[in-house]
Amino acid sequence: MSFFIKASIEALKEFPAINAFIDGKDIIYHNFCHIGVAVGSDRGLVVPVIRYAEKLSFAELEQAIVDFVAKIDANRLELADLEGGTFTISNGGVYGSLLSTPILNMPQSGILGMHKIEQRPVAIDDQVVIRPMMYVALSYDHRIVDGREAVTFLKRIKECVEHPERMMMEI
C-alpha cells in the first residue's frame, strides 16, 4: 500500500484539486495529504486517516496501516482516527475485485480504487507476453476535477508505481 500512497501523494502535488474540497461557494485546497486507507474488518469497512502522509517514509506508512489494523482488531479505533481525510485509497483487490467504482468519501474530491492483480496477455515489442496487470479507478467530484485531470492523475500514479526509484530516492 505504501507505494500507492506515495504515488498518490506525488500525483496530488501535481493535481491539487483532487486533494481539495468544496465549502459552500469556495474550493479549499490542502497543502498536506491526510490519506484515508480503507480497511476491512469483521464489523465492516472503516477508513482510518494517515495524517501528513507526505512526510512519512514507506516503512512509516506501512507501520501506520499495521497500527490501524491492530486498533481495529482490538476495537480501539477512535472517531478522531476516521476524521479529516483529504483523499482516500480503497483496495478491493484484496477481496478479488477486478473492477469497481469507489464511492467518494465526502467532502473529499477523490478516491482511488485498486483492484486485483492478474496475469494478462499484453503486446510488448510485437510479442504477446503475460504480465501482471491491475486496474485502478478514480472517482472524483466533477464540480472541481475534470476528466483530463483525472486521467492524467491516474497516468502519473501508473508512472510512479512502474518506476518507483524516483519516489524511493525522493527526487
The catalytic residues are 142, 146
Q: What is the rounded CA–CA span in Å between residue 39 and residue 46? A: 5
Q: Name the burial class of residue 115, with classes exposed (0-12), middle (13-18) and buried (19+) by CB atoms within 10 angstroms of its CB.
A: buried
Report the SS3 class of residue 18.
helix
Distance set, CA 81 to CA 94, 127, 144, 161 (Å)? 22, 48, 27, 27
- Planar angle of CA 1, 38, 166, nearest 5 degrees: 25
For residue 34, how far is the Cα from the chain centroid? 11
